[in-house]
Amino acid sequence: MQAKITVLPSETIATINPNLYGHFAEHLGTCINQGVWVGEDSKIPNIAGLRDDIIQAFRKIAPPVIRWPGGCYADDYHWQNGIGPKRDRPKTVNVWWGQTIEDNHFGTHEFLNFCRLIGAQPYLAGNVGSGSVREMRDWVEYCNYDKPCTLAMQRSANGSPMPLGVKYWGVGNEAWGCGGNFCPEDYAAEYKRYATYLRDFGNTPLYLIACGPDGNKADWTRRFFKKLAGADQRFGCRIHGFAAHYYCGTAGTATEYSTDQWYELLHKAVGVEQLIVEQRAIMDEFDPQRKIGLILDEWGTWHPPTPGRNPNHLWQQNTLRDALVAAITLDTFNRNADKLVMANIAQAVNVLQALFLTEEEKLVLTPTYHVFDMYQVHQGGRGVRTEIESPTVSFAVGEEKRTMPTLAGSASIKGSMLTITFTNVHARIPIEAEIKLPAFSARDAELTVLTHADLHAYNLFDEPEVLSPARSIIHIGADTRMTFSPASVTVIRMKL
């Protein structure tokens, strides 16, 4: 099968915001407790109760931002329960995820310390569903105010005399569902009320994020902005970001799927591009200067419950197919860097499309982690246009026949380095491609490939290297022919 790839370094899309490579951690199953947090007295090596192996592995992929405490959990979370001496923190019921008991030992300070240790900016999701304007307003003051008010002095007594400097604040989560079952107009009214009181305490300007739709729902977005803007089409409150959610779901199960189901899920992942393009176009009707950023603060696969695991904890294995979902999605973000400002994969540890799986003292890096590692070089780069002429592959969804391109990707330039990333979704056939780099002289390039002969391959605690990237050096020129392995993710890096 033949393909043609033309990279156009002079045709810039936009700077790829590092926040497109963001993460999400919720109090759900063992994402926080036993995942990120083990406590200071744990036999598992830790830094102030935070797993050391998670910290080191996270640092390696340069995480730009991480969202917490939810998710649905955010709209029943009261931040005061998670501060002060741990012995005094109340035990509360997690009403959304199996009614497990939360000891609240992992709270604001622990999360901010985790962010500091891994090098990420914190993104706090506030409680609109069961909380109050006063509660969220006080959380902002507690975190950010730099003068000796009561809340700032309480923060100091709890170990942080200096302001915590939290910039990103979500005004609720999934307002259309677990965040209050609002209609767009009612949520817009609530958003305006909250935004009125969420002030820039101290020296950290807030970036306030409103809840967008569940998937690519134009009606929610248009009705929300129409209500928010009012008859004079001028926003009477601060809004900096608007966050949709997009789960491509599943086809088959996490580890058992046919070849057609392999393609079906990857085709669903491709659908995120339509959301980005169409949601941004609707926002442009109200915000033509793009002062409000489009965000995708939950995305990823969502497979059926894993047998033998608590179905409320959303633990799932992570295979080569999930890795291609991640690569397809990140390439889509890169190609649309002019339309999207932040995205957060769901979730970091032990939940949904996790980067890490833990079991007591054991840690395994998933195929999705390796894709984030391979693609991190795009962060902060200048996205450039890439033309790909690719053969298609056909597959069945029930009795319906569908097709999708076999090869897709993106490119960016950072400093003197050009990075090109590709996926070949074909389950069996390698793709031979002609790569054209106009006005480019021949030189060596670094090649990194993630693939496996088994479409269902994944890493185990006792076999952690079943799926891991292979690196080599290739020679590439203005016109080069290259073969992309089936079911593969490929990164090419070279000096301009």
**Annotated active-site positions, please?**
174, 298
Residue position matching structure tokens 């936009």: 14
Please give the Cα distance from 450 to 490 (Å, whole number).
Answer: 7
Check: CB of residue 344 under 8 Å from CB of residue 299: yes
Residue type, 417: M
Residue type, 357: L
Check: CB of residue 197 under 8 Å from CB of residue 258: no
Check: CB of residue 442 under 8 Å from CB of residue 476: yes
